[in-house]
Structure 1
Amino acid sequence: MVKEVEGPEHGEFSARDYHDPPPAPLIDAEELTQWSFYRALIAEFIATVIFLYIGVTTVIGYKSQIDHSDPCNGVGLLGVAWAFGGMIFVLVYCTAGISGGHINPAVTFGLFLARKVSLIRAVMYLMAQCLGAICGVGLAKGFQKSYYVRYGGGANEVAPGYSNGVALAAEIVGTFVLVYTVFSATDPKRSARDSHVPVLAPLPIGFAVFVVHLASIPIDGTGINPARSFGAAVIYNNDKAWDDHWIFWVGPFIGAAIAAFYHQYILRAGAIKALGSFRSNPRN
């Protein structure tokens, strides 16, 4: 929203009631000397451990329940989707003020493309998330050892009857929905415009993960998070999981890039603003 203010000396000018943070530097070596940076890495690591532990144990528990009893018993696919979406809601709420609550390399990649984080932070977050995912799935295997291998270890694989192309498209669309929601829920302009509406940013993000899981669990188990797929593939270490693994990196990164472009350059009119700034520069 723009307010027109008139002053006796300066005439009319536009004053924004929100402020976009300046773009993050591409390389910010000073971050490596700050404790807050390492605290953020620890937060991303621990959050991803918890996320994968809860998610994978829920998947394995669901599969063991339908194998031993009536398929209508247990949490069902709806419960699996709630486990992933609910944990993202909780963990983003807990870590947003420390690390930004990414818990997903695709989210980090999208924010990096939008110049919200530096390259150093993006790479280090990705490493912390992947390591956390491996540890989280390792914990799940330890607690569900008798069922872990029998029920697929929570690994993402393209389901029978679906092609790699369909799975790739599902990952692109699903990650677009998630990352677009992240941008929209954390947009400072939206917060200023809708300040009268109490919106808790982690809630729509968690719901986005929930509904995407409902749509794509039957296709490939739902990745939309390369760290989640990587951790499960490392611990499960199955040929099928590794053969399909590229889908769960390429798809989410493409989806995140499209979401970043759409939000920054279409909805926020970044391209038009840049063109207007160029045109307003005086010629030499």
Structure 2
Amino acid sequence: MKVRAGFTLAYQCPQPTQMLLVLDVHPSRRPDLLTDATVHFDPPVEARGYIDGFGNACTRITAPAGTIQISSEFLIHDSGRPDVVAWDALQHDIKDLPDDVLVFLLGSRYCDTDRLGDFAWANFSNTPPGWARVQAICDFVHSHIAFNYQNADALRTAYGGFTDRTGVCRDFAHLAITLCRCMNIPARYCTGYLGDIGVPPVPDPMDFSAWFQAYLGGNWYTFDARHNKPRIGRILMATGRDATDVALSTSFGQSQLVRFEVVTDEAT
């Protein structure tokens, strides 16, 4: 299956502004690209790429004063199969976890484990450890939070999503990640493309999506507390501790997003 994906963003800056961008396809998906996935800038600027500590492809630019448009469009091969479901995937003892996975057990900017630990142990300690426990957490989060674009809040943490009971895909992911970490299951935040492929289309404008991965049985497995069912055609862009690590753009100065368009669909 071929998937067409891309975006057009535009930012307005009152003065030259340093920006950090996480807009590339994740290095793990680059072998699947069928066309070039270069990020273009209008007006042209000097861009320097690097791989961050989480393995994400990042770009540094100096946005000029005025408006800069950033865009990319590409074709990528996808298996056409839904997310893997592995009910036999086991939960590791902490002593058996790889060193580089331990950071995904810790609290972070949006995953305030210290405020949800007691709730997690009271509600999920009797679930079977491993896949079933992560799925039980997803089931809870899916039913606990009501999705509503109008209630997006860039400052909302996992505990905020827990108490507000409303939000967008990042809020589902943050709460599920936090509950997993409270139960000693490493979990990391994911961002990328997820179009309406294999499901009825929704009327909302296309957006980038957030989900998470849990480390079970020696592998990172995809979970999605918002949709709570395997989906087809995910295109990973970045992973990190939470949304801070994978922000599409981080401006070191004043900037305003003035255009936001995303496309993801099956190419015929």
**TM class, shorter-length:** under 0.3
Largest Rg, 1 or 2? 1
The answer to which structure, 1 or 2, has the higher relative contact order (CA under 8 A, 6+ apart) is: 2
The answer to which structure has the higher helix fraction is 1
Normalised to the residue count of structure 2, the TM-score between the two structures is 0.26
